[in-house]
Copies of this chain bind each other. A is one copy, B any other.
């Protein structure tokens, strides 16, 4: 659907000097018609998703956590003792792509790989103390700055209804 996050350079130019504004004669240059696009669920879904991620990143700027990283920390916390393949696959991350991600989190001392004694091929994933602390702060930031703002915009009941419908699409479509 396309939709990116460009910055809309506000070219105001602060004019209004000795020159007359040519408003009246302007043949309505701007204002494109979206048309049926605004009825396409995929299009609106993508735009909404980009907005939500964008806001998430702003809320997490102090912790430097991306949505993907946050989801990994959440899942490792909830499922201690699992290996890379298990964590990655339930998040829809392919194992090869998960390696660099873990390298990053581990280099920041947020989580650790531990060689399993049962199966010496696999790495058990755990949060470090720092990882637990950062995740706790992240949860608070998300709850108070991110999800709370969605509640303000939609209302509690609508937000839950939205979540339910999106879950249905994600799981049953």
Contact = CB atoms under 8 A, between A and B. Distances in A.
B150 A173 contact: yes
A42 B52 contact: yes
A153 B170 CA distance: 11
Contact of A32 (B32, B44, B79, B167): B79
B45 A90 contact: no
Contacts of A150: 41, 169, 173
Interface residues of A, number: 69
Q: Which of A79, A91, A150 has the most CB of B within 10 A?
A: A91
Chain A interface main SS type: helix
Q: Which of A47, A55, A79 has the most CB of B within 10 A?
A: A47
Interface string A134-173: 0000010010001101100110001101110111111011
Nearest to A5: B92
A49 interface: yes
A126 to B, nearest CB: 15
A130 interface: no
A36 interface: yes
Nearest to A32: B90
A63 interface: no
Contacts of A34: 75, 78, 90
Interface in A1-29: 1-6
Interface of A: 1-6, 32-53, 55-56, 67-68, 71-72, 74-75, 77-79, 82, 86-87, 89-94, 139, 142, 146-147, 149-150, 153-154, 158-159, 161-163, 165-170, 172-173
